[in-house]
Amino acid sequence: MPRDRISRRRFLRDSAVTGVGLAATASFVFADERPMPMRAFGSTGLKVSLAGLGCYPIGSGGVKEKDAIAVVRRAHELGINYFDTAESYGKGRSEERVGKALKGIRDKVIIATKTLARDKKGALAQLEGSLKRLGTDRVDVWQIHALAKTGDTDRILARGGALEAAIEAQKAGKVRFVGITGHADPDVFVDAMKRHAFDTLLIPLNCIDPHHRSFETHALPVARKRKIGVVAMKVFCSGRLPAKKIVDAESCLRYTYGLAIDTCIVGCDTIKQVEVAAHIARNLKQMAEKERAALRKKTEPHSPDLEWYKRKD
């Protein structure tokens, strides 16, 4: 059978799931491939690809630099324009690799990175390091990372907090848009969105989420009402749903891709994984509510045990 005529069913059947995402047995080009869906990114004026690339895995010491660069480049070839990394991923290794991979095509992509600092001085220092590693003079989305409790929001909004750093960096042209990220408690983000007009929100959204401290039912509607750009993460619940054969990888992706999100970052460390994530986005078959409900029912017995990242109390 010619490579470009292989069926979608066989492609997905031959795909296997790894702990961080997806793997396929070969590279395929589909004769009927559709363009990557593009969505408005909140009120930023940007357009983002439905599938984004989560770059935590390519910062791993177990991934060779040339392979990491190839993953990013392949993602771009497939229509992915949103690349999410962080200063803390592999102690800066992920940012360095993203920067090298996107050299020459910087203006065609959206780069998002993060700071764990809660104070202005620390955040600005981390931003300068990120810019240097990424090889760019600005980041499109700079995110204050891993808010876990209301106290974190208090610190970043206080005088001398990280938000002051973000505003200063915006005025200097080093940051275009400011966001927040986290996965412990949706109420923290509802509170944060009410207290400041953030541009973007990065939160876990998957078919196990609705059962416990749900970001889908609590934080997502607030973000949509306020026209905040929404980025989904942990589509596989850190790889646990498909690894434990609770829900297959394609269903996980289709569930999250079908939510009221702008982009979904999928963590990939091989070209094969990127190809599957992009293929499902480009040929997305929307789930009926009956199918979505069936997936939630499957995951309910495993909540919240599999969601290691959420508060349990």
35 occurs within a structural domain? yes
Domains of the chain: total: 1
307 occurs within a structural domain? no
310 occurs within a structural domain? no
pLDDT of residue 199: 99
95 occurs within a structural domain? yes
CATH number for position 237: 3.20.20.100
- Residue 161 makes CB contacts below 8 A (sequence gap 6+) with 118, 119, 120, 155
308 occurs within a structural domain? no
Helix axes 65-77, 93-101, angle to 10 degrees: 50
Helix axes 150-157, 186-195, angle to 10 degrees: 30
108-144 per-position pLDDT tens digit? 999 999 999 999 999 999 999 999 999 999 999 999 9
pLDDT of residue 135: 98
Catalytic status, residue 257: no
176 occurs within a structural domain? yes
Span 57-68, mean pLDDT?
97
DSSP class of residue 104 equals T
In one-letter notation, the amino acid at residue 246 is: I
168 occurs within a structural domain? yes
188-239 per-position pLDDT tens digit? 999 999 999 999 999 999 999 999 999 999 999 999 999 999 999 999 999 9
- Residue 273 makes CB contacts below 8 A (sequence gap 6+) with 18, 20, 21, 22, 23, 24, 71, 266
282 occurs within a structural domain? yes
Reduced to 3 states (helix: H, G, I; strand: E, B; else coil), residue 119 is: strand
Range of the domain at 79: 3-302
Burial of 71 (0-12, 13-18, 19+ CB in 10 A): buried
Q: Give the torsion sign (CA, 71, 280, 47, 165).
A: negative
* List 56, 82, 89, 257, catalytic entry: 89
Reduced to 3 states (helix: H, G, I; strand: E, B; else coil), residue 161 is: strand
